Amino acid sequence: MNNFNKNDVELLSYSNDFFKIKSKLNEIGYVRDYDIGIDEMFKYQAMFNEQDIISAKYQNKNLFIRGTSVTDINSAGGVSFSIDFGYFNSKKKIKYLYFTVVPYNNVGDMQICSVNRSSTFTGKITGPILAENKFDTSLWENAWYNNTITCIKITKVKVIYTDDSTYTYVKELNKILDNRFTNKCN
């Protein structure tokens, strides 16, 4: 939380177990949800979830990605990450959902895995995924081995529906990303 007084901040949003906060000096930071107190945590999580669901539906974002987060780097350098998303299209069910991501370090340099020498990782979720008024957080453990990774950028999302139709988001990722989520690392 870097010199933030957590009692003197504005809560901006919630994703991947973190609240995005802004100080009186307009500095942006993140604080783990449980660090603000259990009662407050549940109250603010529910408030942001409701706001985000209304926003996604208003913007016709049937698939809505709120954010990504590096969740853990273990002692061997194994990097785990999560993606927070909601699905709101009651007309179709998702059979498979693929998130292709690339890792970066603190200064915005793309990183590679020290084991397989690849930077790209594709995480798969097996459905059926039904439209619900909620958000899910999916976690992938040890996607890379590189302890300098601090940020994940989504580069592609592929959706395969139960009727076997597909849609792949690359250049139009903004159609499914939360407007507050910048999807850049630096």
Q: Are residues 52 and 102 in the same domain?
A: no
Which of 10, 32, 58 is the endpoint of a domain? Answer: 58
> What are φ and ψ of residue 113, in 5° steps?
-75, 130
Q: What is the pLDDT of residue 2?
A: 46
- pLDDT tens digits, 30-54: 776 666 666 677 777 777 778 888 8
> What are φ and ψ of residue 41, in 5° steps?
-55, -50
The 3-state DSSP class for residue 68 equals strand
Query: Based on the structure, what is the number of domains in the chain?
Result: 2
Q: Are residues 85 and 168 in the same domain?
A: yes
| Report field, pTM of the whole predicted structure over 0.85 | no
Q: Are residues 118 and 43 in the same domain?
A: no
> What's the CA gap between 97 and 164, in Å, rounded?
12
Range of the domain at 12: 1-58
- pLDDT tens digits, 104-126: 999 999 999 999 999 999 999 99
The answer to whether residue 1 scores a pLDDT higher than 60 is no
Which of 19, 42, 58 is the endpoint of a domain? Answer: 58
Percent of the chain with pLDDT over 70: 90
Q: Are residues 19 and 75 in the same domain?
A: no
Q: Are residues 16 and 53 in the same domain?
A: yes
